[in-house]
Amino acid sequence: MEKKIVEVIDSQLRKQINKEIEGMTFTKNFRSPSAEEWYVFLPSYQDPITGGAAGKLIIHYNLFDTKEIFINTTIIFDDPALHKKSLHQLVYAISDELVNRLVGYADTLLSVHSGENSYNAEYKN
């Protein structure tokens, strides 16, 4: 029996997600022994005040507890357009890609701050 896969994201949103992920860049702003801060640049979104990065990503390494090591990752999107509920799938896809690229496969506690699209997730290897 052939399994049928149903696409739940409409084709226009899928194109927008692909455009943002393909054009996404980031630059490291700060590094300490226990944390990194990255600015995230997206082709269609930017900080409305500075015109710069659409958001930032903070990666905090838990260096003290070796029993269960999680990396605490916070993503903050500054562009109010990314706070609209209709773009939840876009925010989720961008956030997922950022975790994959910058954190990798480590156990991660993620907190995304993007207005109505804010959420928490746990990535466990």
Q: How confident is the model over 57-103, as pLDDT tens digits? A: 999 986 665 556 678 999 999 999 999 999 999 999 999 999 999 98
**pLDDT band per the 50, 70, 90 thresholds, residue 11:** confident
> Does residue 17 fall inside a structural domain?
no
pTM: 0.88
> Does residue 9 fall inside a structural domain?
no
Mean pLDDT, residues 13-37: 92
Q: How many domains does the chain have?
A: 1
> Does residue 37 fall inside a structural domain?
yes
> Does residue 10 fall inside a structural domain?
no
Q: How far apart are CA 55 and CA 72, in angstroms?
A: 17
Q: What share of the chain is helix, strand, coil (3-state, %, to 5)?
A: 30, 35, 35
**pLDDT band per the 50, 70, 90 thresholds, residue 53:** very high
The chain-wide mean pLDDT, for the chain, equals: 89
Give the alpha-carbon dihedral of 93, 40, 51, 10, to 10 degrees: -10
> Does residue 5 fall inside a structural domain?
no
> Does residue 6 fall inside a structural domain?
no
Range of the domain at 96: 25-123
Mean pLDDT, residues 7-20: 88
121 CB-near residues (< 8 Å, 6+ apart):
109, 110, 112
